[in-house]
Chain A
Amino acid sequence: MTVRALDNAGAESILAINLRRFGRDRFAAMAGAIAIGFVVMAAFAPWLAPHDPSDSDLLRRLQPPAWIEGGDWAFPLGCDSLGRDLLSRIVHGARVSLMVGVAVVLLAAAVGTAAGLAAGFLRGAVDAVISRVVDVLLGFPYLIFAIGLMGMMGPGIENIVLALVYKEWTIACRVIRGETLAARELDYVEAARAAGASPAHIMFREILPNILSPLLVVATTRMATIIILEASLSFLGLGVQPPMASWGSMVADGRSYMLEAWWISAFPGIAIFLLVLSINLASQGLRDAFDPRYRP
């Protein structure tokens, strides 16, 4: 009992040490702060947005950003083809991107971790079945797979999450399976087995806490990809449906006004780019802090 308590304390402090190391990488920490800023923006969107995102006024149709002639500081980034405030729509659009990103990453990590642990620890038939399913799903280009599913299930935010999770879990699964295969040969697993611990106990209480670092790195990296995928599906018209604001569908709306109102497409795209870039930078910092191979 005492041994296990010591063990767990050790595992926690490794994560803590890693996180502190991450905090010292100023560039990555700043990127992380920007990403968290987006999360705050999404959480408090109704209070932060200057206007109602679906409040249209045809008199303000295609109104340019404030610093361009004809602009108005009450609508700093201008208005879209229905006279809706772009800034408010971008602030609210962050909700869709982050909600889908977080939901997909969490669900995929949960399913992938369970499957990866089972495949890597139990081996045999369980491993064979799980690995074959992963192989088959890897045979599909991601976007094609998601588009095919969305086409069959119909649009909507829950369906986007489902369509992405159906393939996304394979990534966490492969990482966790590999880590588990390596961990099951280590002494602490051997010791737990000798002490008569059940397989479930060994998988979830012994191995899992020790392989959380790679899972965290993979999850943040994947979050960036998922946000772009959601935006892509929404851009194609397969994502969330109007009047809900999503960055991808906002870029699509602006396509018809490229000549007279560039801002409709430009600004939501910049928002996606900034969020994804900050997540990528932060996850690179996490990887450097967590993985000894990348340490200088």
Chain B
Amino acid sequence: MRFGVVLERLAQLIPVLFGVCLVVFLMVTLTPGDPVEIMLGNERSTPEQAEELRRQMGLHLPPHERFFAFIGNAVTGDFGRSFFHRRPVIEVIAERLPATLELTIVAMTIALGLAIPLGILAALKRGSWLDRVATMVSLAGVSMPGFWFGIMLIMLFAVHLGWMPVSGRVDYALEVPRLTGMILFDSLAHGRFDTFRDALHHILMPALTLGLAMSALLMRVTRASMIEVLQQDYILFAEAKGIGRARLILRHGLRNALIPTVTVAALETGYLLGGNTIVETVFGWPGLARVIVEGIFSRDYPLVQAGVLVIALIYVGVNFVADLLYTLINPRVKL
């Protein structure tokens, strides 16, 4: 893969990033009503205070100037002050983002961990009861609303059986100093295995809820592509050469069958990032997605705008990297 081509791909990314910024900007700009009035709401405020807030948010400028100011500020990480948290928006985001990323990564791990073995088994035993059960379960998985599944898990395992914590990321007594903000990582870095275990205990149900539908989808993809790969000539050839079954499946089949799985997993990261709003709300997970939802209720427009932008940028970034990786593992696709 030549470096120049990577640069070219990066250049193609620029109009998309610009467009994403424009859409987020328009979300607030095109909304009927005066954001300042809505933000001040019932609070007692003088016209001077409203004017001051309007100036602070740059609302006295014409729209195109505001847009370029918005992009300029976004590039430097200046998203203004959060109305509700009363500190810079970027601080709130930096504080909450790691929790969302941690949950997303664990959910993705669970989804892939369930989907790949089940998908392979279903493909190998095509038409068997195992295949049929796996297919039904996967269809049920994509049909289940995540918020409901999460609540049912809490009711059963936390409220009635008491095996699992109801909410939160880690027990207060076990907290470790912050390095990355991802507790699973930080606790290992500090050598605190008790914290690690407790954090794992806390993240299990939310991550399972978030990863469930994704896992169902990825299982179907893995199954379909494994079936297709197993029908290829080179598999037949390898089989004819007398290669062992396990080696055949793992070395020759799986490597090729996983390409669609990985691609779909990357494309559907957006599903996990969006699903975070639900799961973080259900499990009281203090992440960025929940802050966005709370921001809507507290009419904290700068925070909502920046939060939506940051999540969209992460999503675009993940897809970009996945695109590059895809071309790396699949030699047939030339950059």
Contacts and interface: CB of A to CB of B under 8 A. Distances in A.
Classify chain A's interface size.
Answer: 35 or more
B39 interface: no
B270 A141 contact: yes
Contacts of A266: 152, 155
Contacts of B278: 143, 232, 235-236
A269 B293 contact: no
A221 B199 CA distance: 37
A144 B292 contact: yes
Nearest to A152: B31
B111 interface: no
B145 A272 contact: yes
A277 interface: yes
Given A141-B271, A232-B278, A258 B148 contact: no
Nearest to B317: A139
B97 interface: no
B311 interface: yes
A281 B139 CA distance: 8
Interface in B22-37: 22-24, 27-28, 31
B304 A269 contact: no
B308 A144 contact: yes
Contacts of A140: 20, 23, 270, 308, 312, 315
Contact of B139 (A148, A149, A152, A280): A280
Contacts of A237: 297
Interface in B263-315: 269-271, 273-275, 277-278, 281-282, 289, 292-293, 295-297, 301, 304-305, 308, 311-312, 315
A277 B270 contact: no
Contacts, number: 141
B274 A144 contact: yes
B191 interface: no
B145 A147 contact: no
Interface stretch (A42-50, A130-138, A205-213): A130-138
A145 B148 CA distance: 21
Contact of B20 (A139, A150, A236): A139
Contacts of B149: 269
B250 interface: no
Given A132-B19, A139-B312, A144 B27 contact: no
Contacts of B301: 152
B143 A280 contact: yes
Interface in B1-45: 15-16, 19-20, 22-24, 27-28, 31
A151 B296 contact: yes
Nearest to B299: A151
Contacts of B304: 148, 151-152
Does more than half of chain A's interface fall in helix, strand or loop, or is it mixed? helix
Interface in B154-181: 154-155, 159
A114 B155 CA distance: 47
A135 B19 contact: yes
Select the residue from B148, B154, B270 with max chain A CB neighbours within 10 A.
Answer: B148
Interface string A131-173: 0110111011111110111111100000000000000000000
A133 B19 CA distance: 8
Contacts of A139: 16, 19-20, 312, 315-316
B142 interface: yes
B110 interface: no
Nearest to B300: A151
B326 interface: no
B205 to A, nearest CB: 14
Contacts of B273: 141, 144
Nearest to A229: B274
A265 to B, nearest CB: 5
A25 B269 CA distance: 34
Contact of A259 (B31, B159, B275): B159
A142 B159 contact: no
A50 B28 CA distance: 44
A262 interface: yes
A217 B125 CA distance: 28
Interface string A223-253: 0100010011001111000000000100110
A235 B295 CA distance: 16
Contacts of A251: 145, 147-148, 151
B211 interface: no
A148 B154 CA distance: 27
Interface string B135-150: 0000110111111110
Contacts of B305: 148
Nearest to A277: B143
Contacts of B295: 151
A153 B31 contact: yes
A276 interface: yes
A258 B312 contact: no
18 contacts: A133-B19, A136-B23, A137-B23, A140-B308, A141-B270, A141-B312, A142-B270, A144-B270, A144-B289, A145-B312, A151-B304, A251-B151, A255-B151, A258-B154, A258-B159, A268-B148, A269-B148, A273-B145
**The 5 nearest A-B residue pairs measured at CB:** A143-B274, A136-B19, A269-B148, A151-B296, A141-B274
Interface of A: 132-133, 135-137, 139-145, 147-153, 224, 228, 231-232, 235-238, 248, 251-252, 254-255, 258-259, 262, 265-266, 268-269, 272-273, 276-277, 280-281, 284
Given A141-B270, A258-B151, 13 more contacts: A139-B316, A141-B315, A144-B312, A145-B312, A147-B296, A152-B31, A152-B304, A235-B281, A236-B277, A258-B155, A265-B151, A266-B152, A272-B145
